[in-house]
Structure 1
């Protein structure tokens, strides 16, 4: 009987909460540090040789966001499957504790693996001593959420169900995912990424075919932001060597936010 009861008990909200917390941690990192503040790209610490190419940096950021979408989708699916357990006493505290554990765990792992062990990036790449920034980020967004998760777990046997909390967490994950894919406000520039081998003179000639005005370009001449008419055709750009032309979120988010980083 006990085994039968165990097999039919609804799944706990802990696992989906942890996955959603991980995804929220990744989205928070990507939106704030990669896009808004532009303190680093995912591989900013490995910018020797071909890795100095902004195309590869943006591609890595895009793949990072894609991975976060998969984690968030898995968390949302598991949360739906665990919906029968959300009405249990204390489920709300357990869910929020799991979300905070995932969020804090993401930043602890990111600090240990990305900042210190592999050095693929630091919180700030533009300062002489990045260690204080790493430690502050770890304390605020890693250790503090983990401490809050531990406090919530201590009272997990009591408290309300998780219906409202589950809806709020799911909505937050969806909103964060959508925001991660958005271009910056007022960012009406046309972003053009050229294939390797296209020189500056050739790129300028191709852009001239649609009467585009150059706003900026990265130091390698691979990524260009230009002003062009909304009706300007993009066919001449692709025929002239463009790999990607973007006016919107199809650029995987970080491309449209790379103006300061690309200068």
Structure 2
């Protein structure tokens, strides 16, 4: 990587950032939403941060951060588009795979082991086994393939345009998938801003066309029945901070399991 000409280094940076974002989307969709093995702050001590409202808010902000990283990668790729015609396909895909692997390593090493805010699975007696297994299964293969592709030497392969199209298509597909609610769900979670009284939150849901099916003890996190139609825009206007079926912030929130 150090011997690559400056233009190719810029293209590699774009691929790496997009791969890093794809790693975040993969983590959020699979671990936070589908499997629900952890929240972003599952293991943070203190009642305030372990409250469900704080947990789903942190998941939503994680979602926003991944979107911002993806948009940065798309911008960098656009700025380096001139290199795509110069047979840079392998270099771009190799950088993306390295970025994907980097996400797995940063997540496990920094967030799991150094900060200790969550693990791959928080409901098992030996979370270290799952962390290491995840790195071996999900982090190591893209790391090895990415290094192999990057060592093909400049310009590092053909089909730069096709590689870029594939990478952009994956990112653009991951964005809406990460924001989709579970199939067949008739409820969504709505998190209201701090300081809004429970009565005002309930009234906001009713005025927006919904019905409250469940509430946490604070009255600030509500499960809303959506079968009669709910205006998410009205909810935001009336004090909602996160809505479980809105784009960007709603992906993780929409999948949180609540018994109602």
Normalised TM-score (structure 2): 0.82
Q: How does 1:188-203 map to 2 (within 5 A)?
A: 188-194=186-192
- Asked if residue 78 in structure 1 is aligned to residue 76 in structure 2, the reply is yes
Unaligned runs of 5+ in 2: none
* Aligned counterparts of 1:206 and 1:77: Cα–Cα separation in 2: 38
* Aligned counterparts of 1:97 and 1:245: Cα–Cα separation in 2: 36
Structure 1 counterpart of 2:211: 212
* Aligned counterparts of 2:35 and 2:225: Cα–Cα separation in 1: 23
Q: How does 1:21-32 map to 2 (within 5 A)?
A: 21-32=19-30
Pick closer, same or farther for the CA change 1:153–1:14 going to 2, 3 Å: same
Pick closer, same or farther for the CA change 1:220–1:47 going to 2, 3 Å: farther
* Aligned counterparts of 1:83 and 1:237: Cα–Cα separation in 2: 41
Instruction: Note if contact 1:108-1:143 (Cα within 8 Å) is conserved in structure 2.
Output: no
Matched position secondary structure for 1:108: helix
Instruction: Note if contact 1:16-1:78 (Cα within 8 Å) is conserved in structure 2.
Output: yes
Bigger radius of gyration: 1
* Aligned counterparts of 2:78 and 2:204: Cα–Cα separation in 1: 50
Unaligned runs of 5+ in 1: 1-5
- Asked if residue 60 in structure 1 is aligned to residue 58 in structure 2, the reply is yes
* Aligned counterparts of 2:179 and 2:27: Cα–Cα separation in 1: 13
Instruction: Note if contact 2:212-2:225 (Cα within 8 Å) is conserved in structure 1.
Output: yes
Q: How does 1:102-113 map to 2 (within 5 A)?
A: 102-113=99-110
* Aligned counterparts of 1:94 and 1:10: Cα–Cα separation in 2: 8
Deviation of residue 258 (structure 1)?
0.7
Normalised TM-score (structure 1): 0.81
Q: How many residues get paired?
A: 253
